[in-house]
């Protein structure tokens, strides 16, 4: 079968590799859609510690079950499925306390290689984080399960009741998913970016779109110049993390969602944290419950997810998709083998 491999920074090659065979508890799917993701782009542009090179990559997928290992329950050949790339070990200190997203083994045995004709799903993912996809749901939209699970995660712990408006910084795929999700929860959203093309797409998912230079005017209209109830940082740039706190009202929540380069630091005013009671909130990955919730959002067609996928390319055209992303064009691309 054909599999795309990231052979070095900036270079993807198609390789002919043996078809995977499922061991006990495992499933092999025929990939129907694999989506590009910010993590894959980072790996393509500068390498990534969790994506070994040369090697297969791609982790957002949906497909049709092709081979079923011994002992698998609930799936058979021909089923349409959607899944994520990891699942908690259920045995470590964090798992035993129900903090599944912080599982010490969450990134071990993760699914990599969705940019291929076939993909092996390991048994712990099959048991916890693989789901049947109804036929009427598009494979491309179903492949959004992983990023949507990440986006659903922080709002479980946050009391959204006091949140009426939110500023989302960064109109990439993750920022757009936050805007779509928060809008459905009746929160007025404003999304800020410098990229005009992305803002155009954001306009159908968010109440307001703005460039940084328009912040004052929008903050006046939406928050009476008090600042936003919630600010969601989705760029992963240290200077944006640093500035993001300035857009909050007193008592607001700063959700730091975009992962920065390892070893980065920021510093915040103690006055803002103490007297203004700002809450700083990190968010990493997702729990199986988040995945189930995201799965329901996809199945119920709650969010206009189709808007996030700019175009489809065949496996042979995968480099075109990454070069478009590199030049800031498009949101996500679907690789359809």
CA atoms within 13 A on the CB side of 9: 6
Give the angle 178-182-188 at the CA atoms, nearest 5°.
Answer: 115
CB of 177 to Zn ion, least distance (A): 11
Burial of 224 (0-12, 13-18, 19+ CB in 10 A): exposed
Burial of 147 (0-12, 13-18, 19+ CB in 10 A): buried
How many chain residues interact with Zn ion (CB under 5 A)? 7
142 is a site residue for Zn ion (CB under 5 A) = no
Residue from 14, 17, 41, 89 binding Zn ion (CB under 5 A): 89
Residue from 6, 84, 95, 255 binding Zn ion (CB under 5 A): 95
> DSSP string covering 111-150, please?
----SBSEEEE-HHHHHHHEEE--TTS-HHHHTTHHHHHH
Instruction: Provide the residue count of the chain.
Output: 337
CB of 101 to Zn ion, least distance (A): 10
Residue 61: strand pairing partners: 34, 83
Q: Which is nearer to Zn ion, 87 or 187 (CB)?
A: 87
87 is a site residue for Zn ion (CB under 5 A) = no
Q: Considering only residues 32 through 71, tell me which ones interact with Zn ion, judged by CB under 5 A.
A: 37
Interaction pattern, residues 273-302, with Zn ion; x per rule: CB under 5 A: ------------------------------
Q: Which is nearer to Zn ion, 278 or 291 (CB)?
A: 291
27 is a site residue for Zn ion (CB under 5 A) = no
3-state secondary structure 141-198: HHCCHHHHHHHHHHHHHCCHHHCCEEEEECCCHHHHHHHHHHHHCCCEEEEECCCHHH
Task: Select from 72-80, 81-89, 111-119, 220-228 the region that touches Zn ion (CB under 5 A).
Answer: 81-89
Task: Select from 141-149, 181-189, 200-208, 305-313 the region that touches Zn ion (CB under 5 A).
Answer: 141-149
Residue from 41, 92, 280, 281 binding Zn ion (CB under 5 A): 92
* C-beta separation of 35 from 115 below 8 A: no
Burial of 122 (0-12, 13-18, 19+ CB in 10 A): buried
Task: Select from 41-49, 83-91, 126-134, 179-187 the region that touches Zn ion (CB under 5 A).
Answer: 83-91
Residue from 82, 84, 103, 219 binding Zn ion (CB under 5 A): 103
160 is a site residue for Zn ion (CB under 5 A) = no
List residues binding Zn ion (CB under 5 A).
Answer: 37, 88-89, 92, 95, 103, 146
């Amino acid at each position: 079968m054909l599999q795309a491999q990231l052979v070095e920074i900036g270079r993807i090659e198609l390789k002919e590799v043996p078809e995977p065979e499922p061991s006990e508890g495992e499933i092999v799917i025929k990939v129907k859609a694999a989506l590009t993701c910010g993590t894959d782009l980072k790996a393509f542009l500068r390498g990534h510690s969790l994506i070994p090179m040369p090697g297969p990559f791609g982790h957002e997928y949906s497909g049709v079950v092709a081979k079923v290992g011994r002992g698998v329950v609930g799936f058979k050949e021909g089923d349409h499925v959607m899944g994520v790339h990891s699942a908690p070990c259920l045995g470590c200190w964090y798992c035993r306390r129900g903090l599944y997203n912080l599982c010490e083994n969450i990134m071990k045995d993760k699914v990599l290689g969705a940019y291929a004709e076939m993909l092996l799903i390991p048994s712990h993912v099959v048991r916890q984080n693989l789901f049947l996809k109804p036929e009427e749901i598009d494979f491309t939209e179903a492949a959004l399960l992983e990023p949507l699970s990440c986006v659903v995660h922080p709002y479980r712990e946050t009391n959204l009741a006091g949140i009426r408006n939110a500023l989302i910084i960064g109109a990439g795929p993750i920022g757009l998913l936050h805007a779509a999700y928060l809008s459905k929860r009746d929160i007025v959203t404003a999304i800020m970016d410098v990229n005009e093309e992305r803002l155009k797409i954001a306009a159908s998912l968010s109440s307001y779109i703005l460039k940084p230079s328009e912040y004052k005017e929008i903050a006046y209209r939406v928050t009476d110049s008090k600042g936003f109830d919630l600010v969601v940082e989705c760029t992963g740039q240290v200077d944006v993390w640093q500035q993001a706190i300035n857009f909050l009202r007193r008592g607001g929540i700063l959700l730091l969602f975009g992962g920065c380069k390892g070893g980065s630091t920021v510093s915040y005013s103690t006055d803002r944290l103490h007297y203004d009671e700002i809450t700083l909130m990190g968010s990493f990955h997702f729990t199986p419950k988040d995945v189930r919730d995201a799965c329901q959002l996809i199945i119920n067609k709650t969010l206009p997810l189709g808007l996030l996928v700019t175009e489809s390319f065949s496996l042979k055209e995968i480099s075109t998709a990454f070069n478009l992303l590199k030049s800031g064009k498009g949101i996500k691309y679907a690789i359809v083998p």
